[in-house]
Structure 1
């Protein structure tokens, strides 16, 4: 940023001008630090990106000719945003904007406020913000009024999806409408739009079942559970191993839209052929499996139990084939580390987190970035700048990794059965060579703290449980280790905690 002064009567010095950062009034609630300076800078970049873009509406970027409320960007970032700041009021206001922008047919546009851009249906992972964001707010703050207020909006959206998804395949090849942005800004990995669309239709149904249950709508909850099962079966019949379906032609007008979007997404990225890929999970007659395909199928519970371990193995194999790099775009990146750490590959999740060559979360940090970049390759040493047509250096979407820093590295997680941190799930998962980490959050009940340090075989963990709440603490316990809680020997890896300060020592 540069400032030019003209007509100043005195001598200009560094103290002549004061820069004032403007963003919507949101109290800082969360902090994360650890033993790795690069990760600490990453967290600072995430926060600065949030400040720069949370100005009345959650914009994609605060510069160039855009500054718009893209629904997909905030959908993937909302969980991280709720850790960093109190976004309850800010997002409640924006969700009213979403309701105002919703079409008569139930469609939700790609940009809210809509601005008359023509994208009346935002497509998979963008329009779904109408369901995902209220649920995220409910989990973070425990206020069911946000669900009550927008339940009718969500139902209208679901009706629109069902009408546009014959056979429960959303954005099927023959669908004449908008097929969405795909896995936007992915790296040499094209995930089919109908796979993304169908996966998010299933996820929406799953969330709607939970939302209806919270609101006491038992019949609706049962109906949405049946819908989830039907979409899951449709997903299997088209995309999983054993299906004989092959790629179908799409309408010419739709093909042109898709190709135009893909051209912008790729920019001047050079194509790389990683060789033939086989799969015991997906229908390779239809598409070449991608990291995002595995991530969505696993995270949204779309695979039968017999295929889950194989899917994790194939996901890791793809990461290894790319020399321990991710390929996910806006759609897959938010879920990737969670899928790996929850399926026994914490080591790979940390390897991706600490990767410093591109594409990675830390590459921009090594290049001096102070906010999150829009593209993994916004600038690279070998290729220079990406396409000037679209290349923001303050774009919070990939800052979605912040949620994993809080809930996996620091170990602070919500219990969906008692949201708003009424009951805490505390489960730090050390790794990646980190020797310490600290996550703190100002909840509605008071301060929550999870701070750990590890040296050799000794693990010390300090926990602060807010007043009028309880917690379940899960220790990263190795076999044969002795455990102390507040100076007294205890057994086991799981412990129920009342409000107050507690200290664990594992040695």
Structure 2
């Protein structure tokens, strides 16, 4: 007998649907069945006894089939599904509760202290005493702030959010939170206290030192609604009856840290006044909040050469240090400084630029106390502590970030590659802190559009980013200029005039498309469509003779050949990059138009005409692309910019030769890095993609791993081989952009890729290599768990696949025709496609031979014909088509005094 279960029901993209911001939430559920023939043909949805049948196979983001919910509504929904005449049992009910859906639902008003709480003053606490009668049935606190807030009821923390309400484009969109505070209230007097900090609203933002971007007064909006057993409701909102007093937090800033004085002091009680604010901009959260997600114990405490007390937490994290102190004395001052790395065995703070990243505590007499900040965050692995003798057991790093649900995992037989993948995950955890930031430690921490544009596919595999990036895209749309220009950072605190930088502004088109492809959400496309069109229309208006040439561009940012002081100086021509992105974004908009049932003709024509102009301006008949750099070939190949098979073939070979000539070191910046391994693979050279991925010398993806990195670096050489910090002004050790190659690892190394929106169809196409004996990837799709695992052993290649109910897959195995499978677990064994490479015939073959090339490099070095793989590969590049055995003699020709014949004989012997 077979068994099929459905549910639980999920509402929109919220894991916790308390305070949902829509009256008609879309519904999703997963199905589990051991019936191989099961296929959903219908479902029934039950809302508190009202049952609606939907004849559809859809189970992801199904439109709400009931009457719209009012504000504050609490309802239970369950589902059962049918395959023909066979029905599952009903799921357990899932509860949803709407928030305040209209500005009219708020009787509270924003209030701010009159005398205290100014810039440079202690953080204020706003308070109200509430007297409640018996019979409390439930209670909700709706709250937000100009600044960040932390609420307490009767001394107990309200919720577990950190730095609420987070960072949005405050002038247009301000999130509020809904808290269930029923258990914190009591009959009689109740004290509600809310601490306000500067946060993003009034703290420093960006490197110019400016603060108060959104206003110079902190303010609170709070509405406590208490429902009694008899059905009556009492509402207590912020108004002039509230009071304010100073807290023990004397200073707080996201960049500079927090100063806390724990000594008992009296504070003057201040009155508050109502401040004007538009309640129409209040929105409910679409994704999870920022929370403390993990606590890591300190690994080591020691004294630096200068006598400083240093702490190593073993992992570069974002958050703060928690200290357990004993026998403190009044007036004792403890200072905690933070940094990501050590330099010369001391705290490496230069990359912080002007950010002080320092927390200070003035202590009171106490036998025991735990101290930690709550209105700031830092990016760090190491801390320096002065003012107290500490041991590792009393120290911990509190990890803070948006509490995203993990959805993706990868493993393989290469330890360094697994560590690299862990670094990608930690880099994302640290930088997905309410907005997708570039870095979490220096005087920046901004939502750079270019970084998330390249990283969005990787992010969408590793974590559920639908709500997180959906709300960020809503901010992008409101920050977008009337002419369609997209600011470089969202929320925009740089205020650039008509900002139009390719690959950065293209986040407007690429990120919504990625969310749709990974989550099946047409709603985000509909909401962002006007924004997407506006960006493409803007950059199309900048073209001359069909190409986008001239003007400011970031280009292939942080190309490894660019000098530290000039990150713009990439090998790839910025006009080539800009025009390629125009084609790509125009094609995306055309695709979105088709998905939404709108006319795609204009953007199809724009893409076709721009592609023709791209070839006319930048491509030779033989497939050479202007600037002859790896990035331009990766763009041209992956985005199908070359019209003839001959041009594509030559471009693919040229890209491969550039990779070889660079000794398999990376040669791309932000733009080319997500594409180069895909381009090599689709061009039939996956072995070169593996060589590029697994290279360990600088610059490479694994070089930071060999240097002890635990997150992804901003620069390929953020730390130089001698252990010193790169002299460039921008040198972060936690930047996720260059980790975008993890998407290729998931799709190609492991072989798990979406073939239809939301993984409704899946492509299983692992591409093994001799460098690995096994690899696997697992992803929690909207339909359930999908996984691919393969291993090579004893001449056999075994692939195991799991497909969730509601999905199907096309499986590509070496030497086999594609296989169609449905849900369930499947396994195949075929002959191992990885076979020993033949003896190299040409120099090109020798470079491609992963086992022989390192031996040849060592031999040539011993013969004095070069030093290191990169230099010898560069010297060998002009001779790729010559016989491999002649390479030593050819290199010896540069020195007329040398006898090349002996060198040739030695290399020939090595090659057999």
Range of TM-score over shorter length:
0.7 to 0.9
Shift of 1:307: 0.3
Would you say 1:497 and 2:836 are equivalent positions?
A: no
- CA deviation digits over 1:108-147, x for unaligned, max 9? 0111111034264140100000000000000000011110
The match for 2:623 among 243, 257, 281 is 281
Choose from 534, 537, 540 the match for 1:156.
Answer: 534
* Aligned mate of 1:405, from 699, 721, 745: 745
The question of 1:374 aligning with 2:698 is answered no
Aligned residue for 1:99, secondary structure, equals helix
Matching of residue 77 in structure 1 with residue 463 in structure 2: no
Partner residue of 1:101? 479
Task: Tell whether 2:616 aligns with 1:237.
Answer: yes
Matching of residue 473 in structure 1 with residue 793 in structure 2: no
Query: Structure 2 vs 1, CA of residues 388 and 289 (structure 1 numbering), >3 Å: closer, same or farther?
Result: closer
Task: Return the match for 2:629 from 266, 290, 293.
Answer: 290
**Contact 2:589–2:603, Cα closer than 8 Å, also in 1:** yes
Distance in 2 (CA, whole Å) between partners of 1:292 and 1:501 is: 39
**1:318 aligns to what?**
658
- Contact 1:437–1:451 (CA<8 Å) still a contact in 2? yes
Deviation of the 1:223 alpha carbon = 2.1
Between the aligned partners of 1:412 and 1:302, the Cα distance in structure 2 is 26
| Deviation per residue, 1:254-310 (Å, 9 max, x gap) | xxxxxxxxxxxxxxxxxxxxxxxxxx3236xxx531001111111111112220010
Inter-partner Cα distance in structure 2 for 1:119 and 1:383: 40
2:785 aligned residue = 447
**Range 361-370 or range 374-383, more displaced:** 374-383
User: Which whole-Å CA distance do the structure 2 matches of 1:289 and 1:103 have between them?
Assistant: 35
Structure whose alpha-carbon radius of gyration is higher: 2
Q: Aligned partners of 1:320, 1:40: CA distance in 2, in Å?
A: 25
Give yes or no for the alignment of 1:58 onto 2:439.
no
| 2:318 counterpart residue number | none
Gaps of at least 5 residues in structure 2 are 1-309, 312-320, 326-333, 335-362, 369-388, 562-569, 832-912
**Distance in 2 of aligned mates of 1:458 and 1:90:** 43
| Displacement after TM superposition at 1:385 (Å) | 2.3
Q: Distance in 2 between matches of 1:131 and 1:304?
A: 24
Distance 1:473 1:436 in 2: 18
d(CA) in 2 for partners of 1:192, 1:83: 31
3-state secondary structure, aligned to 2:398: coil
Task: Please point out which of 680, 685, 706 is paired with 1:345.
Answer: 685
Tell me the equivalent position of 2:606. Answer: 227
Q: How many angstroms does 1:382 deviate by?
A: 5.1
Q: Does 1:431 align with 2:775?
A: no
Deviates more, 1:76-85 or 1:19-28: 19-28
For residues 191-230 of structure 1, the aligned pairs below 5 Å read: 191-217=572-598, 219=599, 221-230=600-609
> 2:395 pairs with 17, 22, 42, which one?
17
Which residue number corresponds to residue 31 of structure 1? 409
Say if 2:590 and 2:604, in contact at 8 Å, map to a contact too. yes
Partner Cα distance (2:447, 2:421) in 1 = 23
What are the equivalent positions in structure 2 for 1:109-258 lying under 5 Å apart?
A: 109-118=487-496, 120-170=498-548, 172-173=549-550, 178-188=551-561, 189-217=570-598, 219=599, 221-241=600-620
Instruction: Please list every run of 5 or more consecutive structure 1 residues that lacks an aligned counterpart in the other structure.
Output: 243-279, 478-491
1:213-261 deviation line (CA, Å, top 9, x unaligned)? 11111x3x2222211110011111111116xxxxxxxxxxxxxxxxxxx
Check if 1:393 corresponds to 2:733.
yes
The 1-side partners of 2:634 and 2:662 are apart by: 16
Equivalent residues of 1:191, 1:293 under 8 A apart = yes
**Per-residue displacement from partner, 1:164-191 (whole Å, max 9, x unpaired)?**
1132211x23xxxx42101001123521
Deviations 1:370-421 (A, max 9, x none): 0000001111215832124110000000010110110001101111xx3101
Q: Structure 1's 288 and 157: CA in aligned 2 closer, same or farther, altered over 3 A?
A: closer
Q: Counterpart of 1:132 in 2: which secondary structure?
A: helix
Mapped partners of 1:359, 1:12: distance in 2: 38
Q: Is the 8 A contact 1:179 1:193 kept in 2?
A: no
The structure-2 alpha-carbon separation of the partners of 1:502 and 1:227, relative to structure 1 and needing over 3 Å to count, comes to: same
Instruction: Report the structure, 1 or 2, having the larger helix content.
Output: 1
Q: What does residue 304 of structure 1 align with?
A: 643
1:464 corresponds to which residue?
A: 802
For each residue in 1:464-505, what CA deviation from the matched residue of structure 2 results, as whole angstroms up to 9, or x when unmatched?
A: 10012111111123xxxxxxxxxxxxxx33111111011111
CA contact (8 A) 2:557 2:671 kept: yes
SS at match of 1:158: helix
More displaced, 381-390 or 418-427?
Answer: 381-390
Residues 71, 469 of structure 1: alpha-carbon distance in 2 compared, 3 angstrom cutoff:
same
* Mapping of residues 347-362 of structure 1, within 5 Å: 347-362=687-702
CA distance, structure 2, for counterparts of residue 194 and residue 119 of structure 1: 20
Counterpart contact for 2:560–2:715, Cα < 8 Å: no
SS in structure 2 at match of 1:82: helix
Q: CA deviation at 1:9?
A: 4.1
CA contact (8 A) 2:583 2:610 kept: yes
Whether the 8 Å contact between 1:71 and 1:122 is mirrored in structure 2 is no
Contact 2:712 2:736 (C-alpha < 8 Å) held by counterparts? yes
| Alignment partners' CA distance in 1, 2:615 and 2:406 | 43
**Does the 8 Å CA contact 1:110/1:120 hold for their aligned counterparts?**
no
Aligned residues: 444
1:350/1:432 contact within 8 Å kept:
no
Paired with 1:164 and 1:383, the residues of 2 have a C-alpha distance of 45
Partner of 2:849: none
Aligned to 2:671, which of 327, 331, 349? Answer: 331
Q: CA offsets, 1:333-392, max 9 Å, x none?
A: 000001111110001000001000011100000100000000011112158321241100
**Which range moved further: 385-394 or 342-351?**
385-394
Offset from partner CA, 1:136-160 (integer Å, 9 cap, x none): 0000000111100110111111211
Q: Residues of 1 paired with 2:749 and 2:732: CA distance?
A: 28
Contact 1:101 1:108 (8 Å CA) reproduced: yes
